[in-house]
Structure 1
């Protein structure tokens, strides 16, 4: 079971305390003799803390990481046993030219060191290209040669201080093995392209390799003070660096790195040039120091230095070649999209700018992609983008095809007509995305000839995305004027909301055949201070684009509820069966809409059953957040009406998934009444379906008495249109309600 983070956090501070205590004891011992066991207490506790920290790191990880830290805890356990054995040596063996240290103590040090080296060497390092492998080999060789030069100097110094006895050679071998462990850590860091162990942890392990040589240095320095010991001086720092390495691993886990990333799929680390240069610099300092001190250099030192310089030069030459390849790769990645493999926006805009002959720029984006992505998941969304990219490549042929970002694509080709025709044919077939068949609809903006094609195509695409032009817009001069007009409307919208320039009209919904008013539909109108009326067809799409439709919609709801409350007070609660309010697709994406509706009803004391929310099929076609909002509205008790029914994506399917109470049959079907049986077929089918499902139907756009009569014959009992009444201000609805009340009283 893993230790708790708070308990594990104590390892490094206690190890630091032991290291500081050791330093203070040695400084104090230079002046005052004391029991030689005192300096060994921190020397044993330090490695013991490292063993516990390594085991804790293993408990927090799994896979290769857990194996690595378990192996290192066993290796550090060997060092711990060696430190305890050396403590016994101090008590039982006499002090001669060498500090008391037995053969089995040295053996424990060597075993612990070899186990540590084995654990490091078995750590996975990931794959590399031949240049990367060659660079790694040269890096390793540089470190090995540097270590060899330093080892030759160290061996000479050791023999000079401790002689060539068997005990001295065993001590020298043990210390060199410990130093080799540090070299292995550095080599592993440099050679591994990927490592499951955080690099910070490996770098904390590297200084432990200096413990062996430093202990012999301290042995000579502390020789006049028999109660002090070189091994005891460095062992607390072995424990300190070990606990810091384990702490680095635990921090890495705590930062939320996934288990998979802890194994082998970490991003590759680039090897830098710092370590070879540092190795060369240190070797130069060492050789210079030896030459100044002795006046000559050994053959090993001269040959090693020469070899080192050749290795560094070779390494840098290969590194330059690798950097060139890397730059080429980066340049290619900058010009291509990672997901689809198409050209990137940067390449596409540059290609458009360089065109000298007349060309067409076609920009496309996928309709409803965000909803599809939300409903099916990002994996399916990515698969859909990739599949659509493949389709574009097949349709466009040898011309430039790019993904410009998100669900937007671009094509640069000599002419657009043939491409658009072939794309429409291809899009009639569904794309397969992560096991889902998806029919793709696109908005298309086209600019041909002339200059500034990319900007013009963007303007055309923006207009196409509104859906007012069937999803395909070709740029022309009038488009600039329309966009300028829309920009002006957008700037005026907020001012108009604040200034109270909007008002509601109400169109009656009547009972067939007599024409008695059952309810009304509220319709927003905008009259500017100069008397000019802005058409809803102009300002509603702008309000949708800018998001102001949410604020405007809240005002419409509140105003309609207030008017409904006034009619209830004046003419009784049953004077009108319902008051309908249109809600846009953008409003349905607002999760606060049900609260806004509930607040308006409560504020004006209107029963939820008297409010009808009208939505379009397109708004809820893909489900997701919009459909969830409709369900929440239905739970409030308001009625849900599908407006313009029969013209959307999947009408019959929506009747099963959407909590619908009313079907408003689109005017296009009403216009076909009185013609051939084929023209009346849909109107007849819709009322039959509604009756079977227990839904009310309202026929929209009734303009003639003949249409009203025929609708009644087909089973329709509610209708709306200019034949009965145009949208009118509240005062005229008042008059109609008063007349109905007077007739009832008579």
Structure 2
């Protein structure tokens, strides 16, 4: 592995040029040996010089590599083993050369010290090869590779035994024990090296370099093949065949010096099958020629090889089966993920469209579009984790409500849908869904409201029109209030489209300044004195005239434009109230009560907007009374923090429409209210108590309970929606001191309110 430290150009040149010099030297020495063998100048002992001379070239090539390159520990260890092995091997053959000159002209047998050193050198080099890591990733891969390498070892060994070692051992003139041992070691190490390097996928040691080192042992094959050729064959082996070893070594060092460390392509896949073919070739040779005990070795090896291949094939079949099962499971998982929602496990939009399109081709098809009301508020107030848990619970409740009557899916966000089975009544399923949603859901025990649109498409009709009709019906259900369902009918698009158009015009109207603030007085019932006002927004449309709030407030809520609209009402009413205080004195305006929506309370800038409006207009903090509904207050910790900050600023809070919610009484214990406003539904018909109807008695009881509760808690009370004097009198008799309604005063523009206040001041002055 190349060092990451920078090197100058001369160093790089040394890295690449120096090893190649020794490759040239090793080739030159081998060519000189070939030239000597052809011309035969001098004694035959000269043939023994070329092997140790080539060893010097190989050793110098390795030393040059190790000096010129910064090698990682694994690579350095490998080349140290090769260097040690080649050094000991060269010393052994140097001893043989000295002996050869001492016995010339007779060719010597290799002496025992030389044979021992040569054997140790080969073992050391091959041990370095064996220690190179294979790069396996798991025990299964290692087991398979071990069997493959054993197959290759046995198969190729059988071939070399048949055509190499066996003829050499059984030759009539035979080789010495030392020579036979060296060639045998060379055979074994060559086989081991081949099967080792065939399964190295790459790494710090260059793969080509390892192959060349392993190939050096195969020179023993050439020597063995020359064993029956007499003295000339021995001289050929010593002068040409064996010096080729050092060409391999020098070239391997050169390959390592230019290695980039890039992974190489694995090429050992077919080696076991080639080994099997080699064993078959050996067996055929024996059948053809017929031999003695050496044939038994081949037969045993072939049987062993066949068994190993069978085991390997069984492992391969088992592995292929496992991979096939894993692939099928992966395909099933991918198909499921492609057609199902990852959070809830329900089908997704793609599956829904496919199933609905298929159903429409065969029959009339009914779908339900289910949209959660105010789900964004849950995310904003309680966090997205709670929102996700709620969606999972909603999916479970939807599946339970639908049961076997349809396919529930999640389309996106908080939008769900149901494809009904043939013959299932859509209204019945819609009621079951709403009943299921009425129960507290998720571990946080949250109540969920939903709007459901129902639409039916005829057989052969298009998919998109059916879904569009369901969407229109769902929006119509939203306009009717929370927790409703609506079935689509022809012509339903018009009011929904008009509602959408109003939403589109709101932004333009805000920018164009088309909104006005009207003021409805808050009156003292005993004296008729005005003590405050409730600001109410009106839209002065350039074409339609004055648009009532009921037509554009829901659109503003749905589009989120209620936040900038509420900010405008707050600032304008604070400015106007401050102007009235400056003109008519501090007693003319004790309460300014603008309404605050749920979305405003979730706006992170709302408290800053209130603070800025009071600071810019100079209105005293205690004159501002923010009116909130119970549904807005019951919205989690974020809303509670906002209300607490407002209360600490000195701004007063009023609980509007009191008595209509499920938690009105318990809410007063945690909500910092200073005023409660009795809802209009408890004022309507309150003057009819003398008729003794159950409805009148219930209204009387609620109104009396509210005033008593407010008195016990030290809260002011305001009765809303007073339509006649009889209602005002009845409320006064129950203890109510403040009222609001058309009988007392209608909402009016700021100019009319200014005239009314001026008239009251003049009357007071005259009195």
Q: 1:567, CA displacement in angstroms?
A: 1.5
Alignment correspondent of 1:594: 607
**Equivalent in 24, 27, 50 of residue 17 of structure 2:** 27
1:113 and 1:16, CA in 2 relative to 1: closer, same or farther beyond 3 A?
farther
Q: 1:28, CA displacement in angstroms?
A: 2.8
Asked whether the equivalents of residues 222 and 228 of structure 1 are also in contact (C-alpha less than 8 Å), the reply is no
Asked whether the equivalents of residues 359 and 448 of structure 1 are also in contact (C-alpha less than 8 Å), the reply is yes
**1:313-324 superposed matches below 5 A:** none
**Equivalent in 353, 366, 374 of residue 349 of structure 1:** 353
Q: Which moved more, 1:558-567 or 1:358-367?
A: 358-367
Q: Which moved more, 1:221-230 or 1:540-549?
A: 221-230
Q: For residues 477-514 of structure 1, what are the alpha-carbon distances to aligned partners after superposition, in whole Å with 9 as ceiling and x for unaligned?
A: 35311112123323322332232221110011123322
Alignment correspondent of 1:14: 4
Asked whether the equivalents of residues 564 and 579 of structure 1 are also in contact (C-alpha less than 8 Å), the reply is yes
Alignment correspondent of 2:408: 402
Asked whether the equivalents of residues 620 and 626 of structure 1 are also in contact (C-alpha less than 8 Å), the reply is yes
Alignment correspondent of 2:583: 570
Matched, 1:46 2:71: yes
Q: For residues 263-284 of structure 1, what are the alpha-carbon distances to aligned partners after superposition, in whole Å with 9 as ceiling and x for unaligned?
A: xxxxxxxxxxx989x9679999
Asked whether the equivalents of residues 445 and 458 of structure 1 are also in contact (C-alpha less than 8 Å), the reply is yes
Alignment correspondent of 1:667: 680
**1:119-198 superposed matches below 5 A:** 120-122=137-139, 144=148, 148=152, 165=183, 168=186, 172=190, 175-176=193-194, 179=197, 182=200
**1:542-581 superposed matches below 5 A:** 542-581=555-594
1:489 and 1:212, CA in 2 relative to 1: closer, same or farther beyond 3 A?
same
Q: 1:174, CA displacement in angstroms?
A: 6.7
Asked whether the equivalents of residues 84 and 124 of structure 2 are also in contact (C-alpha less than 8 Å), the reply is no
Matched, 1:418 2:423: no
Alignment correspondent of 1:133: none
Asked whether the equivalents of residues 214 and 234 of structure 1 are also in contact (C-alpha less than 8 Å), the reply is no
Alignment correspondent of 1:259: none
Asked whether the equivalents of residues 61 and 253 of structure 2 are also in contact (C-alpha less than 8 Å), the reply is no
User: What is the DSSP-based 3-state SS (H/G/I as helix, E as strand, rest coil) of the residue aligned with 1:398?
Assistant: helix
**Equivalent in 363, 366, 369 of residue 363 of structure 1:** 369
1:684 and 1:211, CA in 2 relative to 1: closer, same or farther beyond 3 A?
farther
Query: Distance in 2 between the 1:379 and 1:545 partners?
Result: 23
Alignment correspondent of 2:115: none
**Equivalent in 208, 224, 230 of residue 252 of structure 2:** 230
Query: Distance in 2 between the 1:444 and 1:24 partners?
Result: 81
Q: 1:593, CA displacement in angstroms?
A: 2.0
Alignment correspondent of 1:113: 133
**1:420-569 superposed matches below 5 A:** 420-431=430-441, 433=442, 435-448=443-456, 452-468=465-481, 471-530=484-543, 532-569=545-582
Query: Distance in 1 between the 2:331 and 2:433 partners?
Result: 37
TM-score, normalisation: structure 2: 0.66
Q: 1:668, CA displacement in angstroms?
A: 0.7
Alignment correspondent of 1:702: 722
Asked whether the equivalents of residues 181 and 209 of structure 1 are also in contact (C-alpha less than 8 Å), the reply is no
Asked whether the equivalents of residues 683 and 699 of structure 2 are also in contact (C-alpha less than 8 Å), the reply is no
Q: 1:223, CA displacement in angstroms?
A: 6.5
User: What is the DSSP-based 3-state SS (H/G/I as helix, E as strand, rest coil) of the residue aligned with 2:453?
Assistant: strand
User: What is the DSSP-based 3-state SS (H/G/I as helix, E as strand, rest coil) of the residue aligned with 1:543?
Assistant: helix
1:312 and 1:567, CA in 2 relative to 1: closer, same or farther beyond 3 A?
same
**Equivalent in 662, 674, 680 of residue 700 of structure 2:** 680
Asked whether the equivalents of residues 146 and 283 of structure 1 are also in contact (C-alpha less than 8 Å), the reply is no
Q: For residues 712-746 of structure 1, what are the alpha-carbon distances to aligned partners after superposition, in whole Å with 9 as ceiling and x for unaligned?
A: 33333322111211111112222233234335545
Alignment correspondent of 2:109: none
Query: Distance in 1 between the 2:617 and 2:754 partners?
Result: 18
Q: For residues 58-116 of structure 1, what are the alpha-carbon distances to aligned partners after superposition, in whole Å with 9 as ceiling and x for unaligned?
A: xxxxxxxxxxxxxxxxxx5xx665555666667888567789957567546645638x6
**1:607-618 superposed matches below 5 A:** 607-618=620-631
TM-score, normalisation: structure 1: 0.68
Cα RMSD after superposing both structures: 5.2
**1:182-221 superposed matches below 5 A:** 182=200, 212-216=210-214
Q: 1:592, CA displacement in angstroms?
A: 1.8
User: What is the DSSP-based 3-state SS (H/G/I as helix, E as strand, rest coil) of the residue aligned with 1:230?
Assistant: helix
Decide which structure has the larger Cα Rg and report it. 2
Alignment correspondent of 2:240: none
Query: Distance in 2 between the 1:41 and 1:574 partners?
Result: 100
User: What is the DSSP-based 3-state SS (H/G/I as helix, E as strand, rest coil) of the residue aligned with 2:521?
Assistant: strand
Q: 1:343, CA displacement in angstroms?
A: 3.6
Query: Distance in 2 between the 1:631 and 1:20 partners?
Result: 77
Q: Which moved more, 1:735-744 or 1:100-109?
A: 100-109
Query: Distance in 1 between the 2:750 and 2:133 partners?
Result: 93
**1:95-106 superposed matches below 5 A:** 103=123
User: What is the DSSP-based 3-state SS (H/G/I as helix, E as strand, rest coil) of the residue aligned with 1:582?
Assistant: coil
User: What is the DSSP-based 3-state SS (H/G/I as helix, E as strand, rest coil) of the residue aligned with 2:542?
Assistant: coil
Structure 1, unpaired ranges of 5+: 1-10, 49-75, 126-135, 184-203, 246-273, 288-298
Query: Distance in 1 between the 2:670 and 2:663 partners?
Result: 11
Asked whether the equivalents of residues 722 and 728 of structure 2 are also in contact (C-alpha less than 8 Å), the reply is yes
1:218 and 1:680, CA in 2 relative to 1: closer, same or farther beyond 3 A?
farther
Q: For residues 606-650 of structure 1, what are the alpha-carbon distances to aligned partners after superposition, in whole Å with 9 as ceiling and x for unaligned?
A: 233322222222234231544444344444432222222232353
Asked whether the equivalents of residues 359 and 415 of structure 1 are also in contact (C-alpha less than 8 Å), the reply is no
Q: 1:563, CA displacement in angstroms?
A: 1.1
**Equivalent in 758, 761, 765 of residue 738 of structure 1:** 758
1:12 and 1:519, CA in 2 relative to 1: closer, same or farther beyond 3 A?
farther
**1:606-645 superposed matches below 5 A:** 606-645=619-658
Asked whether the equivalents of residues 42 and 236 of structure 1 are also in contact (C-alpha less than 8 Å), the reply is no
1:666 and 1:604, CA in 2 relative to 1: closer, same or farther beyond 3 A?
same
Alignment correspondent of 1:60: none
